[in-house]
Structure 1
């Protein structure tokens, strides 16, 4: 990845298009799950989406592998896609917007209390 790709995000666009091409090869049930996974993982993204790309790659790889093994979607992800997404994002250490805002608020309060107390 060169500097220009980093600045413009063209590398991410290319990678995301590759994900979509891979997802189109999946059975219809898995394609619908992929769309849900993208929606439920989007709150864990940063501004650029760079931290989310490896998580999306892993989730899509899991869908591809289970589809090729002939497993049902329920066997692969369970009944709760939202919970599945929260679990895989949490294992990667990704924070959602609420976590980021909570950290920022805690820092601001601590800074204000430090000024008042000292």
Structure 2
């Protein structure tokens, strides 16, 4: 990856298109699960989404393997796909935008209280 690709995000576009092409080859129930996985992982993204690409690639790989083995997607991911995604993102050190906002708010409140108290 060169500097220009990093700045413009063209490498992410290329990776994203490759992921979506792979997802189109999945059976319908696995594609539906892929859409749910994407929706539940996006809140853990940083500004560019670059931090999620390996996570999304791994999740899609898991869906591809289960489809190839003929397994039911719910048997692998469970009924709580949102919880699966939270655990997956947490395992990668992901924090949601809410976590980042909460930390920022707590820092700002602590700073204000410190000024008022002393």
- Gaps in structure 2 of 5+ consecutive residues: none
Q: Paired residue for 1:36?
A: 36
Runs of 4+ displaced beyond 4 Å: none
Q: Return the offset for 1:56.
A: 0.5
TM-score (norm 2): 0.95
Deviations 1:9-46 (A, max 9, x none): 00000000000011111111101110111111111111
Greater alpha carbon shift after TM alignment, 105-114 vs 26-35: 105-114
Q: Paired residue for 2:8?
A: 8
TM-score (norm 1): 0.95
Task: Tell me the number of residue pairs that the alignment of Structure 1 and Structure 2 aligns.
Answer: 118
Q: Separation in 1 of the partners of 2:106 and 2:93?
A: 19
Q: Return the offset for 1:55.
A: 0.9
Q: Separation in 2 of the partners of 1:92 and 1:117?
A: 39
Match runs of 1:89-104 below 5 Å: 89-104=89-104
CA RMSD of aligned residues (A): 1.0
